[in-house]
Structure 1
Amino acid sequence: MDKLHFTIRVDAPVHTVWTTMLDESTYRDWTRTFHEGSHYVGSWAQGGLIRFLAPDQNGSHSGLVATVIENRRDEFISLEIRGEVSRGIDDTTSAHARRFAGAHEDYSFSESDGVTTLVVEVDTDEEFTAMFAADWPRALARLAELAEERASTAD
């Protein structure tokens, strides 16, 4: 498993970046980079189960299922991948699903003078390293655009 690191500075308060990242409508927007139709079902609350889904070629929803290990509002979120979702069904036991099990996604937020720094650390199967290395910066750039738009209209 590879660990990828990404950092972006966003000209918006930390709470604006936080809510833009997690709100369902804006989440769908900034995660389109990974797969059109990306969304989540579940809770970001600590201990909550959350499914990251997108339509597959059969019209079903597939993706990953995770547990929210830690959630400190406006500071930090840690997820642990449990397995995958295939055609709408959670799979944590097959050999394919176990490739993802135990992977972490961590999001750290800090603010200084109205500028938020977001650091993302993602474990990924080697098969997806190149794709995520290209997609994450584009997704984070879109997240920054959305958060900065929100911040400018709040003034």
Structure 2
Amino acid sequence: MKKLTYSIKINKPQDFVFRKIKDKSVYPGWAKAWGEGMSYEGEWKEGGYISFFDKTQGGTKVIIEEIVPNETIKTKHVAMVNPQNIEVELTDDMMRKWIGSQEIYHFKRESDTKTNLEVVMITDEAFEEMMGAWPKALQLFKEICEA
């Protein structure tokens, strides 16, 4: 497993950025760094599941392992889903390598009006190139927050 870290400073308070990352209405606007039509289903609560997917290719399902309000969200990828958000059998090595990947969000207060958002991905090195979309996603997210 490889640890990949991405971060961006956002000119908004920590609680605002924390709420915005969970806002389903803005998710497609920054997740388009991986493709158009991205959505999610599920609840942002500890022990809950969320599926991140698009309506043509499917996606991934995570369990929310920990939420510390305004500070941290820790997730683990536990399944693959089809475009209808139904879990699918792991049919190839790449799917099996993805399961167990971790995605951790840290919201660090820089000042009353500035937050550093850090995303840590712990995943198989086979996904390093795909994770290269994070800087674009974070820039899009920053623009949405600051608009």
TM over 0.5: yes
The 2-side partners of 1:34 and 1:93 are apart by 21
Gaps of 5+ in 2: none
Q: What is the 5 A alignment of 1:13-92?
A: 13-56=13-56, 62-88=58-84, 89-91=86-88
Q: Deviations along 1:115-148, whole A, 9 cap, x unmatched? A: 1011100123333312322x11011011111111
Gaps of 5+ in 1: 150-155
Q: State the Cα RMSD in Å.
A: 1.7
The 2-side partners of 1:13 and 1:145 are apart by 14
Give the match's secondary structure for 1:18: helix
Structure number with higher helix proportion:
1
TM-score with structure 1 setting the length: 0.85
The 1-side partners of 2:78 and 2:23 are apart by 23
Q: How many residues align?
A: 144
1:91 deviates by: 3.0
The 1-side partners of 2:87 and 2:26 are apart by 25
Q: Is the 8 A contact 1:67 1:79 kept in 2?
A: yes
Q: Is the 8 A contact 2:79 2:99 kept in 1?
A: yes
1:92–1:71 distance in 2 versus 1, CA, 3 Å? farther
Aligned residue type for 1:21: I
